[in-house]
Amino acid sequence: MALVKPKRRADLAVVQIDGEAVIYDERSGHIHRLNQTATLVFECCDGRSTIPDVAADFAAVYGAPVGQMERQIRSVIRRFQLRDLLERRA
């Protein structure tokens, strides 16, 4: 089974203010505001990094267990998917 490599939609307008992202989705007309942690996760959605890779990096930085970080990152990514901020898998 291939590992998922989430990727941000290229057509979103993203601006960062004080480490927090403000995202405008012209297609839907919605504006999204991400806190600093969600912004970091969103930046990691580059289409190259897997969720376990991102979790390992976050765990190293925050000194938290990798499994805990992976669960939290998966939860954030699910919210990105629900808000249609990521490219859909083929």
Reported confidence tier of residue 88, pLDDT bands at 50, 70, 90: confident
| Angle, helices 51-62/36-44, rounded to nearest 10 degrees | 140
Strand, helix or coil for residue 84: coil
Largest CA distance in the chain: 39
pTM above 0.85, yes or no: yes
Domain ranges of the chain: 13-82
The answer to whether residue 1 scores a pLDDT higher than 70 is no
Which homologous superfamily is 13-82 in? Coenzyme PQQ synthesis protein D (PqqD) (1.10.10.1150)
Q: What tens digit of pLDDT does each residue of 21-61 get?
A: 999 999 999 999 999 999 999 999 999 999 999 999 999 99
- Quickly state the pLDDT bin for 2 (edges 50, 70, 90): low
Q: Show the tokens assigned to 39.
A: 């912004």
- Averaged confidence pLDDT in the chain: 94
